[in-house]
Amino acid sequence: MAKFKKQRSAASAEISTASLPDIIFMLLFFFMVTTVMKDTTLKVKIRPPEATEVQKLEKKSLVSYIYLGPPMQAIYGTEPRIQLNDAFAEVKDIQPFIISEREKLDEKLIPFMTTSLRVDRKTKMGIVSDIKQQLRKVNALKVNYSTKVGLSKS
Amino acid sequence: MIRKKKDRSPNEINAGSMADIAFLLLIFFLVTTTMDMDKGILIRLPPWSEEDPPDVKVIDRNTFIVLVNARDELLVEGDRAEIGDLKDMAKEFIANPFDRVTLAESPLKAVISLKNDRGTSYDMYIQIQNELKAAYNELRDEEALRRYGIKYAELDKDRMKLIKKAYPQIISEAEPEDAGKQS
């Protein structure tokens, strides 16, 4: 193509694409910096509730996630299930999970550990209370209810 | 460029595919990226203790009782209420601007007691938490504006602590009941 044009007119009227890689690299770096890798594959459907008084979660490495919602695949039923890391779990698995998460961390960072509960909005509070009780038992007291930013109700 | 003038043989590496490679990487990061989702309502759970919590006698006027049943209906201080009114009710209770005898003596003594049912939906629970938090945030904002003329979030740490001390956020959650099971 380029050759074709050049033959027709010697004057180089086309736009230089030499800076295209630079522009793409810039975009690439932007995404590399802002990105957070998907560390788990979700097996449960989660539509978080909306709230206005939200705070940002800091220090990603100090956060452990507990997912709770109806399973994506119908063969697992429609009752809300807990997901820890990549697998379904029961309420009794939460304590070992938090302990193992804690062992990965530096000792002086342990008080700053946060547990993020990502719970589907249709879930009933019963199972959420069970999880909260387990967290209290294992002394993981900082909890973040993951929400979307929504409009005020009043 | 200088080289090109010297000899026309194309000896340099072709950089035309650089953009394609960068595009490939870019698309990879676009696909694996997850935006936002790490915002939420931060709370602190009370520490676990085996024995039943001691019966702390809080004078009735200092407790703001919020109950939710399995049908997501609200009962605030004994009366039915809508979620939209909860924030203003809580604010009036905590600050008590007209010194009513039924509302809290002072913001320091105000306790919000929240009790839900096991059948309450999580959405409703978050909305209540959100409204109560909003009430406290607004009160703190007002106090910060009155004292220092700027909003609470823009204060420095020491002043923030002072405001926090004046308006401590005490929300006590009772263990949920299982009343709504049959419905």
What domains sit in chain A, N to C, each tagged with a CATH number? 50-149 (3.30.420)
**Tens-digit pLDDT profile for residues B126-147:** 999 999 999 999 999 998 998 8
Flag if B123 and A49 touch (Cβ within 8 Å): yes
In B, minimum Cα distance to A134 occurs at B48
User: How close does chain B come to A75, measured CA to CA in Å?
Assistant: 24
**In chain B, residues 92-131 whose CB comes closer than 8 Å to chain A:** 116-123, 125-127, 129-131
Query: Which chain A residues touch B25 with a CB distance below 8 Å?
Result: 28
* Residues present in chain B in total: 183
User: How close does chain A come to B9, measured CA to CA in Å?
Assistant: 16
**Tens-digit pLDDT profile for residues A87-146:** 888 888 999 999 998 888 888 888 888 899 999 988 888 899 999 989 998 888 889 998
* Separation CA A53–CA B39 (nearest Å): 10
Query: Which chain A residues touch B86 with a CB distance below 8 Å?
Result: 154
pLDDT in the model for residue A79: 87
For chain B, the average pLDDT equals 81
Q: Taking residues B164-173, report their average pLDDT.
A: 86
Flag if B15 and A24 touch (Cβ within 8 Å): no
Cβ neighbours for B104, distance < 8 A, ≥ 6 positions apart: B61, B62, B64, B93, B94, B96, B110
pTM for the full predicted model: 0.76
Residue B83 Cα to chain centre, angstroms:
16
pLDDT in the model for residue B83: 87
Angle at A143 between CA A116 and CA B166, to 5 degrees: 140
Write the burial class of residue A57 (CB in 10 Å: 0-12 exposed, 13-18 middle, 19+ buried). middle
